[in-house]
Chains A and B, each alone.
Chain A
Amino acid sequence: MPFVAATRALGAAGLFALSVLRASRPTRDFFSELTREIYKIGARSLPIVAAGGAFVGLSVTLLGYRALETYGATGQVSALLGLGLYRELGPVLTALLFVGRAGSSIAAELGLMRATDQITALGLMAIDPVAKTVAPRFWAAVLCVPLLTAFFVSLAITAGYFEAVHVIGIDGGTFWQTMKDSVDFHDDFLVAFIKAAIFGATSALVAAYVGYHAEPTIEGTSIATTRAVVNASLLVLMFNFVLSALLFRS
């Protein structure tokens, strides 16, 4: 029976995703809501993404330096930093920060809208609640997570540069040249943003699905918020492995 229930839930989530795509029409109201959501879930996530990126850059640089020092290859620390950030850490950690910051708020907002009759009221006014409440949040996430990933990686590389060059003493020219030689624009840079967009879509869909279908109570909203963070985080990690296996050949 758990298999049947899981299959049914997966089917319902798939239909929900289709309904979001079907409800995404480029109307004036849609763009107005989209702009508002980009500010709410994208711009407001910048501080934690910046702080997270800087600390990850510092940690990876230090870890890489200590590991590579054994082999006398400390000049390669920027290659490790660049590849690690673009291929794995940047998209994944940005998506996880996004899930914690914005995914939880999407689930909580939709759960509260359900509990306070706002979603019912939209339906009764002949306004598609998915088009009004879910579609703008979904597309805002698809657009924002790649941009936040770029911001995260930029901050991480900048922090790594200052640590490697000004604290550890690696030559600045070597740092940039090694990174440039090892990070490929198409294979690493662009793929990072494709992954980020997929993670954004996944996070927003999971959060919106559990929030939209939450029990119309305070407890229901609370459960939906927790479920959004847990399920979206696990899916991001799972999809990351699948995408890495498919997209990175070398």
Chain B
Amino acid sequence: MIRKLFFSAALCATLCILCFKTSVAQTPQATPPPPASPRSGKFPTPVDQTLPNGLRVIVVQRTESPLISAQLLIKNGGEVDSPELAGLADMTASLLTKGTQTRDATKIAQEIESLGGSLNSSARWDSSFASVNVMSSKIQPAMEILADVVRHPTFKSDEVERLRQQYLDNFTLALGDPGAVARMVAARVVFGDSPYGHPVSGTAESLARISAADIAKMHSRFYRPDNAILVIGGDINAKDGLALATKYFGDWQKPTTPLPAVSAAMESAAKGGRIVVIDKPDAGQAAVYLARTGIDRKDPDYFRGIVSNSVLSGYSGRLNQEIRIKRGLSYGAGSTLDARRDVGPFVASAQTKNESGAAVADLLLGEIGRLSSAPPADVELTPRKAVLIGNFSRNLETVNGLVGQVGSLALYGMDLNEINRYINNVEAINTADVQKFAGARLDAKTSNIIIVGNGKAFLPDLQKKYPNVEVIPVSELDLNTALLRKKKPSAD
């Protein structure tokens, strides 16, 4: 049993922040000794090159452990799924490792695992990826397999059927988990029928419709060197990294057709202000979510946004202070500001006993509002910025974290040197910035509340306060549409 859920273990940091003051000590034991002067560290510098076929190759060296992580990113993911084929991008990416022209699924797993390596592929929002993580002595054969699965997948029908069934089972499992249901409903409430609205891994209905031909078409449209980025990080230098990329991806032909045009416009679906309850009588706990639109990754307010989010989130963030530490209402409350190519979601959440569902919804709304009405003074803000900087720095300590961060900057067309400006950018944010961001971008009134739980336990309290509560029994939930409710069956 872990005390907190927020942090993954890892380390590194370059912190120069003195943020608590010690009073005069009476005895050497009674007050903490003050910190010594800070020491600094530096992050590796990514080396960025492009092969003649258009493949962008980024190498970032970190030699502390004999591991290498390589990630091949395709610059499109679930957002290009058509509404009736939700889950297509994710199924396509997952199927890469299930058979190529020269290897079947069993052989792929056998070969990569014999190297002690791991090979993963899936689609997310804005990107699809295949990646390997392996001891540096095994990178050559691992890279050969990575290139093979990206370039020569076969999408055989028996593999499509097998994966479809696994996705259907996973969807069924997700429907049993209040938190997972709340996440899927929140996306529909915020994004309606626009591209980020559907579950990225599909629904029972959409999964049933996806054909092997759809998958092959998705692959041929988007998986091409001029729509891809290869990030190699860890125990390898830039020259060797580039040679590796050239050896396995250099002869990947760029199609003569232009890159597919992807409609960039996201309709802003939602006015907000909805209170949606998914009544799940057997839920062991209620999942309470506040969800609304947030920002895109290129928004000039990005750093104001992530610092504002850090005031709310994390162990000592305001949400957890109010919900867990002061009131014992949850094991953990927090929030995420997910900045995507287009405007992504802001989500604040906590799980609580069913009886406290309404109280926690109030607290979430209250804390979002308080961010602009009572913005953090320096004494509160400085530590929250330190949290952000520390998490960022520790994340760069593992090869997977390093490759993930660099890949994300590259995907969104950001300057890779932002890694080395991150700390200054965070430190520059002040109280007025947070207040401005919260007021303009995180208005409580246009936020939505989603509660998935046993309605009987919290609905009376909730309805007293919010007359506009929409209640949908879980048996009538339809994640395929913004309506969220299955059409009434016509008399049959």
Partners in one complex: no
B binding-site residues for A, Cβ under 8 Å: none
